[in-house]
Structure 1
Amino acid sequence: MVGCGPLFSGVSHAVSGADWTFTENNMPQKIVKLTVKDVRFPTSLGQHGSDAMHTDPDYSVAYVVIETDGGMKGYGLTFTVGRGTEVVVCAVKALSGFVVGKTLEEIVGDFSGYYRLLTSDGQMRWIGPEKGVIQLATAAVLNAVWDLWARAEGKPLWKLLVDMSPEQLVSCIDFRYITDALTEQEALDLLRKAQTGKTEREEQMLKEGYPAYTTSCAWLGYSDQQLTQLCTDALASGWSRFKVKVGAELEDDERRCRLIRQMIGPDKTLMIDANQRWDVGEAISWVTSLAPFRPLWIEEPTSPDDILGHATISKALAPLGIGVASGEQCHNRVMFKQFLQASALQFVQIDSCRLGSVNENLAVLLMAHKFQVPVCPHAGGVGLCELVQHLILFDYISVSADLNNRMCEYVDHLHEHFTSPVVIRSAHYLPPKDPGYSCEMLESSVETHQFPGGEVWANLLAKAPE
């Protein structure tokens, strides 16, 4: 276990009014234990989640539980697609020394400082910094901390955020490297402006929910028959926004997009997602061929790190009325800053586990609002819908106050493994009511799907050819 020095105190806030008040009733004691488990689901057997780049994903999580000496627990996770989860587990263990021994009051009392502490260790930073496996692990740990905090306050995470003052929210953000795009004062001004009408927007979300789109109908590995049936079922359930995986073969993409567009009609929304499959020129040519099916966006058309490539694609596709969306594999707030500065994205797709948990997502939500680019989060996977619903509810209520061209991804896989699964009604996310960040899994699911010794995997591996 890695040792931990004093709480980093190098970040000072120019804002006032960010003080926290804790009582013995709502503040758990010291964090005394962190456990992490490799939990995998064999989704590749049914081609669920398959796309042009990830042809055989086994949806998985590095699942974190933190415990206090007061008996409270916080739950967090980070999403993977199978092999490599064990590497994330090792990274979580390496970070555990920064968590065990702290009180929640110490952490959230200077949350931006704690975030920087977790991401700035003089040696472990070398294997990041703030990207890759180490950032996935950071997200898992901090997701558990935020879950613990929300539970301590007796609120769902979205409500904890909505009830914070602008000063308190800003005190959670590390502004290092992004002040050329968003300063603390600008963030405060945006949040203060959004205070108007906040109560009405919260009531609206509680009544109507947040609009969602579905990716479940058109995974790349699905047959036309399966796609047709799932699309028919989705239409009957009130879905009006559909995403199709593309990028393997152009003729196949044209056939599948034509089939979906014919089924959903001209007025419903279609998006396409290539999962990083193409070079820049290839992306422009391929999407131009699919333009007759009127996609709202092309998602991840090229390398997720190629900011200027995305800008080139965006400029080329603008006359066709097709935007570019990306973000599920965008490493950190700095890359999002550059995407926005370069006008390389028309839709920002935050992810609850790729970025450094809520803290870094707050920064991206505020930058997106300043640049007037709609946020349409990435979800699906294992637990991503459960997590990101909190962030997008907060964004609408406390930041953007806008639903134009905004929607949150939904995939109907694996929610039965959570104690507080998402609730979808009429293709809308209904706000969670249970305290926490909605990522606590059923103990039985964790045990049977733990890799490699859980019952599900022990049986599968026993049947596998040598």
Structure 2
Amino acid sequence: MAGLFQSLRDKLDRSVVVESVEMCDIRFPTSLEAHGSDAMHSDPDYSAAYVIVTGGEWTGHGFSFTLGRGTQVVVEGIKALAPLVKGVPLLDIFCNFSTFWRKLTSESQLRWLGPETGAIHLSVAAVINALWDLWGKVEDKPVWKLLSDMSPEEIISLVDFRYLSNVITKEEAVSMLQSKIAGRAEQEKQLQSSGFPAYTTSAAWLGYSEEQLKTLCNAALKDGFRSFKIKVGQDLSDDVRRCKIVRDVIGWNCDLMMDANQRWEVDEAVHNMQQLAEFKPVWIEEPTSPDDVLGNAQITEQLKPLAIGVASGESANNRVMFKQFLQAGAMDFCQIDATRVGGVNENIAIILMAAKHGVPVCPHAGGVGLCEMVQHLAMFNHICVASSNKQIIEYVTHLHEHMVDPVTVTNGNYQLPSKPGYSSEIKKESRDMYRYPDGTFWKKFNN
């Protein structure tokens, strides 16, 4: 692994340490226009538990995504983790990243709040994402390129394989990655030329009117989208009505996905999807509890005759949950999230397990900054790992104007990001305006 680590040592020595870890609560008032509304979350305010890590001449930005109330809990978790990060040489972090990741997730008192689960794990994700943004800037590469230029052994050194060895070993993972090396250049060239396919959710939030639904679907068609997702789950008769509206606009040559956001019981999910099968959905996303591995497996099996897949993962707490879903055949589409599990490192583990099981990775990207970050993971997967050609990334139109390096989608395809880092920095003026509770926007409500 001399290549990667030698490059780091050429730029850093052990005197370059994490000097500061800053954090804040940023909330955007998306609930005012029903953006993000679904069967379980009627009034989301897209928010970020935000972290800024400084080391030497570099600054890394990262965050975990939340829906407003509760963001302060994740920020408090970041404060609790900060002493484990401050003063640590950057070389010690990046050259032993799986060890450092375990240090954050295994702190003996903090882990009691939920080992690799819950708010504290979201806090870990925010810190880890900020460190990856910083590493990309040290190497002057976007994170997808930083990862795609690594050797198989270097990639594997990033992953904590604890609890995974009964499904995938380090040796198996190295072999999988080695088998893809010869095709990396061609895969990257293809992404540079054509981009990465996206599906849009922006048209179909449950709080939108029928007129909005039609207008936004038509606009997405004109923008080149050929895959659409609609929210379902609140009322079956209304689901039928809204799905008919969408199909009438997009026709039958476009793909349609559905998302119940955990609303249904297991048998209810099967029954309702039998009623919605006439609209030929590619998948039903989160049909029931995201923790119910066996329930999701039952739904997956019973929907097979209807050619409807089950998509899940955006709310899964950690790689062990993904392991069980994949082992049980409980997901046909693996939906990683850039901030739900413990950041980039844990998502690499999930990507590897999905590839071994032949399950396509189709990342969740609704929410502020999620499109920006998760595109890096999807593109790394496409270049270095993927065993399926059915990969696709979610896209929403909201809040990109607040990002320093906003996502670019052309003709329904993500374009490769080119700026160094993880595309995770929110503009300072936006942070100052929407910082909660003392930003200029929120002060109006809190005085």
Category of TM-score, reference length = shorter chain: over 0.9
Structure 1 residue 109 displacement after superposition: 1.3
Counterpart in 2 of 1:391?
377
Are residue 409 (structure 1) and residue 391 (structure 2) matched? no
1:359 is aligned, of 345, 349, 353, to: 345
Equivalent position to 1:451, from 431, 436, 441: 436
Which residue matches 2:112?
Answer: 126
C-alpha separation between the residues in 1 aligned to 2:60 and 2:89?
13
User: CA offset at residue 363 of structure 1?
Assistant: 0.5
The aligned counterpart of 2:137 is 151
Deviations 1:377-415 (A, max 9, x none): 000201100000000000000001642x22100000001
User: Are the counterparts in 1 of residues 360 and 387 from structure 2 also a CA contact under 8 Å?
Assistant: no
- Out of 26, 51, 63, the residue aligned to residue 50 of structure 2 is 63
Q: Residue in 2 aligned with 1:372?
A: 358
Does the aligned pair in 2 maintain the 1:18–1:171 contact within 8 Å?
A: no
The yes-or-no answer on 1:38 pairing with 2:25 is: yes
CA distance in 1, matches of 2:251, 2:89: 55
User: 1: distance between equivalents of 2:50 and 2:426?
Assistant: 9
Match of 1:422 in 2: 407
CA-based RMSD? 1.2
**Equivalent residue for 1:197?**
183
Q: Residue 17 of structure 1: CA displacement?
A: 6.3
Alpha-carbon shift at residue 208 of structure 1 (Å): 1.0
Match of 2:284 among 287, 291, 298: 298
Cα 1:110–1:394 shift into 2, 3 Å: same
Of residues 418, 422, 425, the one that matches 1:437 is: 422
Q: Secondary structure of the equivalent of 1:400?
A: coil
* Residues 25-34 or 387-396, more deviating: 25-34
1:239 aligned residue (225, 239, 264): 225
- AA aligned to 1:214 is T
Residue 64 of structure 1 aligns to a residue whose secondary structure is strand
Deviation at 1:460, TM superposition (A): 3.5
Q: Distance in 1 between matches of 2:301 and 2:433?
A: 49
State percent identity of aligned pairs.
Answer: 52
Compute the displacement of 1:179 (Å): 0.5
Following TM superposition, the consecutive aligned residue runs of length 4 or more in structure 1 with deviations greater than 6 angstroms are 16-19
Superposed displacement of residue 66, structure 1: 0.7
Q: Does structure 1 retain, via aligned residues, the 8 Å contact 2:60–2:133?
A: yes
8 Å contact kept, 1:26–1:153: no
Q: What's the offset of the Cα at 1:206?
A: 1.1
Matches within 5 A, 1:225-264: 225-264=211-250
Deviations 1:241-289 (A, max 9, x none): 0000000001100000011011111111000000000110111111111
Are the aligned partners of 1:194 and 1:401 in contact in 2 as well (CA < 8 Å)? no
Q: Given that residues 19 and 54 in structure 2 are in contact (C-alpha distance below 8 angstroms), is that contact kept between their aligned partners in structure 1?
A: yes
Structure 2 vs 1, CA of residues 85 and 246 (structure 1 numbering), >3 Å: closer, same or farther?
A: same
Contact 1:201 1:401 in 2 (8 A): no
> C-alpha distance in 2, partners of 1:365/1:379?
16
In the alignment, is the contact (CA less than 8 A) between 1:210 and 1:428 conserved in 2?
A: yes
Which of 20, 29, 32 is the matching residue for 2:5? 20
Q: Which whole-Å CA distance do the structure 2 matches of 1:458 and 1:148 have between them?
A: 31
Counterpart selection for 2:151 from 165, 168, 177: 165
**Residues 1:328 and 2:314 are matched in the alignment:** yes
Residue 52 (1) aligns with residue 39 (2): yes
Partner of 2:299: 313
CA distance in 1, matches of 2:162, 2:356: 17
| 1:119-153 C-alpha deviation (Å, 9 max, x unpaired) | 11111110120011011000000001111111000
What SS does the aligned partner of 1:63 have? strand
CA distance, structure 2, for counterparts of residue 306 and residue 402 of structure 1: 25
In the aligned structure 2, how far is the partner of 1:124 from the partner of 1:160? 31
How far the C-alpha of 1:39 sits from its partner, in A, is 0.2
Q: Look up the match of 1:6.
A: none
Distance in 1 between the 2:415 and 2:234 partners?
35
2:147 counterpart SS class: helix
Matches within 5 A, 1:344-355: 344-355=330-341
Equivalent residue for 2:72, pick from 61, 69, 86:
86
Report how far residue 71 of structure 1 moved: 2.6
- Contact persistence 1:151–1:435 (CA under 8 A): yes
Matching residue of 1:117: 103
Q: Which moved more, 1:103-112 or 1:137-146?
A: 103-112
Which amino acid is 1:135 matched to? H
Contact 1:150 1:435 in 2 (8 A): yes
- Relative distance call for 1:315 and 1:402 in structure 2 (3 A) is closer
Q: Deviation string for 1:202-260 (max 9, x for gaps)? A: 01111111000000000000000011100111111111000000000011000000110
Residue type at the aligned position of 2:27: R
TM-score when normalising by structure 2: 0.98
Where does the alignment leave 5 or more consecutive residues of structure 2 unmatched?
Answer: none
Matches of 1:350 and 1:98 in 2, distance apart?
Answer: 26
SS in 1 for 2:253: coil
Deviations 1:54-80 (A, max 9, x none): 000000001100112x23111111000
Offset at 1:440? 0.8
Distance 2:293 2:321 in 1: 8
CA contact (8 A) 1:64 1:141 kept: yes
- CA displacement at 1:461 relative to structure 2: 4.0
May I ask how many residue pairs the two structures share in their alignment?
445
**Distance in structure 2 (CA, Å) of the matches to 1:92 and 1:37:** 9
Mapped contact 2:122–2:339 kept (Cα < 8 A): yes
> Deviation per CA, 1:311-338, whole angstroms, max 9, x where unpaired?
0000110000000001000011101000
What are the Cα deviations for residues 400-433 of structure 1, in whole angstroms up to 9, with x where unaligned? Answer: 1642x22100000001101100001111110110
SS of the aligned residue for 2:424 comes to coil
TM-score normalised per structure 1? 0.94
